[in-house]
Amino acid sequence: MSTGRPTPELEATIGGLSRRLAEARAAGRTVGFVPTMGFLHAGHCSLVERARVDNDVVVVSIFVNPLQFNPGEDFDDYPRDLDRDLEMCARAGADIVFVPDGPEMYPEPVATTVRLPALADVLCGASRAGHFDGVATVVAKLLVIVGECSAYFGEKDFQQLTIVTRMAADLSLPVRVVGCGTVREPDGLALSSRNAYLSEAERSQAPVLLRALEAGAALVQSGEADPAAVEAEMASVIATAPLAEIDYAAAASASTLTADGPLRGDVRLLVAVRFGKARLIDNIGCRAG
């Protein structure tokens, strides 16, 4: 079916992408950038659509970044479907899809790591050691390649959004980082490429993540300021799903991602839960007293 939009141009080289975008900026055009690992869904598309509204040129990158996977994680099995991704990029309004291969991005083993320990070693970073070093390093590299732009990231990966926002500020990157809301299935499950791993039984129990977060938020809004009490509430909801194996349920300051005392101001509730092979994450925001 025709989308009425031209097929995006594929660009596989760093030099080619930089040149095109330098030309666009020289012509006074603004650039919107959406980094992804592909296997796109409506959550990714919402970022592309937002970039389309805000900018003259929209670039989507598709690169499954080996640096952010630990040995034994799902790098080899990570779902990939470039043809389908390109159709979705076209429909959402992308102009250029950047598809570097591994050697293009990392011709040599990387000797440089971008690391934000205070934000990277908590929550998902505690069970996925080095994961956010890999994320920050590839995002820094992509942002240098793309240059001055607005870059769109999902709140679905709130820790990643926080890290990228801080990194861009610390390094004075010429980038406006834009956080976008989480797109969900009708039953509340956040869209994720990894939902493809869920069996039917696991899929039917996966909405427990949002139910746990909502129970935690209700407790905070009722005046509970003790993070441990909120975390216990969320864990007890997750425990009602027999196939769920909890990694963490956390109540934290939205800016530091830690809770060093009673909850105050902008709070983020975050959970990570394994269902078989799939490790799912979700989060919501709320206000405390």
Residues in 44-63 that interact with ligand AMP by CB under 6 A: 44, 46-47
**Active site positions, annotated:** 44
Say if residues 178 and 150 touch (Cβ distance below 8 Å): yes
Residue 90 has what DSSP assignment?
H
- Does residue number 192 form part of the binding site for ligand AMP (CB under 6 A)? yes
Identify which of residues 177 and 288 has a Cβ nearer to ligand AMP in the complex.
177
Binding span for ligand AMP by CB under 6 A among 41-49, 76-84, 210-218, 245-253: 41-49
Provide the minimum distance between the beta carbon of 144 and ligand AMP in the complex, in angstroms, as a whole number: 18
| Stretch binding ligand AMP (CB under 6 A), from 72-80, 93-101, 188-196, 218-226 | 188-196
Question: Can you tell me which of 36, 55, 162, 283 binds ligand AMP, judged by CB under 6 A?
Answer: 36
Q: Which is nearer to ligand AMP, 198 or 219 (CB)?
A: 198
b/e 264-283 (16+ beta carbons within 10 angstroms → b): eeebbbbbbbebeebbbbbb
Q: What are phi and psi of 97, to 5 degrees?
A: -115, 120
CA atoms within 13 A on the CB side of 195: 21
Instruction: Give the residue with the Cβ less far from ligand AMP, 210 or 288.
Output: 210
Q: Are 32 and 152 in contact (CB under 8 A)?
A: yes
Residue 112 beta carbon to ligand AMP: minimum distance, rounded to whole angstroms: 21
| Cα atoms found within 13 Å of the Cα of residue 24, Cβ hemisphere only | 21
Considering the complex, state which of residue 231 and residue 282 has its C-beta at the smaller distance from ligand AMP: 282
**Residue 278 has which token pair?**
């799939």
Q: Which of 189, 192, 183 lies closest to 204 in space, CA to CA?
A: 189
* Residue among 263 and 270 whose Cβ is closer to ligand AMP: 270
Edge-to-edge strand ranges of the sheet holding 244-253: 244-253, 265-275, 278-288
153 binds ligand AMP (CB under 6 A): yes
Cα 41 from Cα 175, distance rounded (Å): 25
Q: How many CB atoms lie within 10 A of CB 19?
A: 12
User: Between residues 48 and 251, which has the closer beta carbon with respect to ligand AMP?
Assistant: 48
- Give least dist CB 151 to ligand AMP, A: 9
Q: Which of 10, 37, 232, 254 binds ligand AMP (CB under 6 A)?
A: 37
The whole-angstrom separation of Cα 111 and Cα 126 is 23
Contacts with ligand AMP by CB under 6 A: the residue count is 17
Contact between residue 272 and residue 248 where contact means Cβ atoms under 8 Å apart = yes
| Choice from 182, 195, 205, 283 touching ligand AMP (CB under 6 A) | 182
Q: Which of 191, 198, 259, 284 binds ligand AMP (CB under 6 A)?
A: 191
Which residues contact ligand AMP by CB under 6 A?
A: 36-37, 43-44, 46-47, 153-154, 156-157, 180, 182-183, 190-193
